Amino acid sequence: MPTVLSQSNLPGLELVHRGKVRDVYALSADELLIVASDRLSAFDVVLPDPIPGKGEMLCQISNFWFGKTACLVPNHLTGKDVASVLPAGTDVALYAKRSVITKRLKPVPVEAIARGYLIGSGWKDYQATGTLCGIRLPAGLRQAERLPEPIFTPSTKAAVGDHDENVSFDHVVNLVGREMAGRVRDATLEIYRYAADYAAGRGILIADTKFEFGTDADGTLYVMDEMLTPDSSRFWPADLYRVGISPPSYDKQFVRDYLETLDWNKTAPGPHIPPEVISGTAAKYAEALHRLAGIELA
């Protein structure tokens, strides 16, 4: 059975950040320990009920993609054994599949999003303005329609409890400079094109996905945090895809759809999730992990 971890507890290690899903500990000036919990956020609110095994699945699928794309863009993984840094007395099995030791990087303060299909907040923006992140799109596109080519649609990186906001490429230039903005955009689209082609061969359409990047002291750009997971992406089964509707998915859209049926204002605290939605979400994550990476967690 998968382990369950709502919040990590590692006495003796310095907790430097507790995010919506990941807990980050300092190991040294150069390395971090990142633990993927089973917390689930939706509409930028952390929900009160964990999804058993979710952190393990997120970590394993991220590691798979980091390995597949290392030839395109370097990533933050060090490859070091997690057990070697856990405090004495820690249940190693609880952390082994959900944790990684990484390089300690300077984050680029932007959510780097690639979109290949018109859905979610992108669809709402397009309906209102005909544009997405300042990019003029063809008229007459329908919900979930494939775009003529993938586009870079960045957003702000919100704090826990706040909402991300779609922004233009010029906004990113103002934040990090034109050269870095261009590097982030190019890396985002290169990884997305590769992953979308790979996933399509396994019956999954990657509608969109979000990356985070960081730099080291030499200015080298690394992809970090998570990568092409059901939390950071929309995965659609190709055989059920239809233009004009929000397709079924292997990601947390399953939870979002349930939440949309509630009288909830999408601010904290989030509502409790019924057991059937929890188990259904876990099953969708597990199927994505198996179909994309061939991994089944015991």
Q: Which two tokens stand for residue 16?
A: 């430097």
CATH of domain 107-255: 3.30.470.20
CA angle (42 as vertex; 235, 282 as ends), nearest 5:
55
CA proximity to 132, closest of 141, 124, 140: 124
pTM of the predicted protein model: 0.92
Task: Report the C-alpha gap between 251 and 290 in whole angstroms.
Answer: 13
Question: 14-105 has which fold?
Answer: Phosphorylase Kinase; domain 1 (3.30.200)
Give the three-state DSSP class for 68. Answer: helix
> pLDDT 10s digit of each residue in the chain, 298 long?
789 999 999 999 999 999 999 999 999 999 999 999 999 998 889 999 999 999 999 999 999 999 999 999 999 999 999 999 999 999 999 999 999 999 999 999 999 999 999 998 899 999 999 999 999 999 999 999 999 999 999 998 765 545 578 899 999 999 999 999 999 999 999 999 999 999 999 999 999 999 999 999 999 999 999 999 988 999 999 999 999 998 888 877 788 889 999 999 999 999 999 999 999 999 999 999 999 999 987 6
Task: Report the C-alpha gap between 168 and 128 in whole angstroms.
Answer: 16
**According to CATH, where is 3.30.470.20 located in the chain?**
107-255
Which residue type is seen at 232?
S
**According to CATH, where is 3.30.200.20 located in the chain?**
14-105
Could you tell me which residues are beta bridge partners of residue 25?
15, 33
